[in-house]
Amino acid sequence: MSRVDEEPEPTGTGDEAGTTAAFTALLEDSAEELYESAPCGYLSTLMDGTIAKVNATLLSWLGLECAAVVGRVRFTDLLSIGGKLYHETHFAPLLQMQGELRGIALEMKTAGGGRLPVLVSSVVKYTSGGEPLLIRTTVFDASDRRAYEQELLRRRQEAEQARAEAEQARMEAEQARQQAEADRGRLADALAVLQKSLLPDALPALPGLEAAGYYHTASPYQLGGDFYDLFPLDEDRWAFFLGDVCGKGPQAASLTSLSRYTLRSAAHHAPEPIAALTTLNTVLHERFTNGGDPRYCTVIFGQLEPQPGGHVTVRLASGGHPSALVLRADGTAEFLPTPGGLLVGILPTAPFATAETTLAPGDTLLLYTDGLTEARTGPARDSLFGEDALRTFAACQAPATAQELITALSGLLESFGDGLDDDTALLALGVPTHPPTRPATNRPG
């Protein structure tokens, strides 16, 4: 039988006893203490906003004394100017209609003149008859939230500024690209006009001969240094030349112009091929090499003289230029060797030798610059087209008229694609099997 005066033995563990003690201590806090020391601000106001009660937490935040607030100021007196305007225009009317508002962002004034961002929730208490009696308001410190929002706003503004700057940079880059395209277009047009001035507008019609020319420009933005020409010496003879100056650009164009006009002038005074090349060599050496700026070119210069029976005698000399190629009417192709012949303009005097051949009806003479034979071929673009391949290609075209040969070669040049990185000039002179029915052509690339 148990004794009623004996203390009951504990039935729980030590941890359970500690938890029970903590809850007991918590319940010993009075309601007043909980109100005053709450982690948020509390205040109650009359319906006109006069503060009737306020807890210590809110007074501490604002740096105010209770006696200076209760019954003396209204809730709106604690707000900043902006907060007052919002309270009068939005907060108070909505609270009156709804009876409750939650999480409204306002700013309150502190005693030191600072601003405290807060979140305010208010609820109207009514009498048993349904009449509004007072307003209970809870205030939460939103300083951290405001700082976070301001940081987000600052980052957003920075992002928008960066986006605007990037868009402005993109627009400027696009304008610069369009301007560069327009400038390149104008440059290409100007260079095309200048390049055209370094070549004959059209090859003349030769009695008993056919002539065709072609010029491939490797870059529309850079002047090339290849050139050719065909012109009469007298009633029976014609002169022709084709060459390649060193370099690119304006200096090469200047050298090209000087070489063309020197050869034309020299041909009328001393029409022999060796004499014309000797004159050009002297002019280039005296003008450039003696001045410490050596410039040179390779040139092949020749004469055409019709013979009885429709044949044409060709006499030519070369200054370091690739050998001419002759396509015969029997379907063969062979180079016409021009032994000797140094680069024109390198030395004060240069030896040149003359080579001669006869073109029969159906034969065609081809002159070309090294852009053709030095075109890079193969999958890796690491092999040169070369003279042997050119002779094989020409033999496959033979017999061919001058125009037919130029057409085939221009197609070959196009097939090289990016392997053709140098200007190329072509000049074909042929004896037709029948008299030509139209003038010679000059097709620019």
pLDDT (0 to 100) of residue 275 = 95
Q: Indicate the number of domains in the chain.
A: 2
Both 128 and 206 in a single domain?
A: no
pLDDT (0 to 100) of residue 6 = 47
CATH of the domain at 248: 3.60.40.10
Look at residues 141, 158, 179 and tell me which one is the last residue of a structural domain.
Answer: 141
pLDDT (0 to 100) of residue 196 = 67
Look at residues 117, 141, 165 and tell me which one is the last residue of a structural domain.
Answer: 141
Q: What is the model's pTM?
A: 0.61
Is residue 156 domain-resident? no
Residue with tokens 């002169």: 239
| Gyration radius of the chain over CA positions | 51
Both 270 and 344 in a single domain?
A: yes
Both 240 and 308 in a single domain?
A: yes
Both 328 and 253 in a single domain?
A: yes
pLDDT (0 to 100) of residue 405 = 97
pLDDT (0 to 100) of residue 17 = 67
Mean pLDDT per block of 10 residues along the chain (445 residues) reads 45 62 64 89 94 95 94 94 92 93 92 92 93 94 80 86 92 88 69 67 90 87 83 93 88 87 92 94 89 88 93 95 96 90 90 94 96 90 92 95 96 91 93 64 50
CATH of the domain at 132: 3.30.450.20
Write out the residue range of the structural domain in which residue 243 sits.
199-444
Is residue 67 domain-resident? yes
Both 137 and 204 in a single domain?
A: no
Is residue 264 domain-resident? yes
Both 222 and 313 in a single domain?
A: yes
Rounded Cα distance between 309 and 360, Å, is 9
Is residue 85 domain-resident? yes
Both 339 and 429 in a single domain?
A: yes
Cβ neighbours for 239, distance < 8 A, ≥ 6 positions apart: 230, 231, 232, 233, 264, 267, 271, 276, 301, 302, 303, 304
Both 230 and 341 in a single domain?
A: yes
Is residue 161 domain-resident? no
Is residue 7 domain-resident? no
Q: For residues 236 and 207, is the Cβ–Cβ distance under 8 A?
A: no
Is residue 273 domain-resident? yes
Both 111 and 206 in a single domain?
A: no
Q: Which of 260, 257, 255 is nearest to 231 (CA)?
A: 260
Cβ neighbours for 155, distance < 8 A, ≥ 6 positions apart: none
Look at residues 141, 169, 189 and tell me which one is the last residue of a structural domain.
Answer: 141
Is residue 152 domain-resident? no
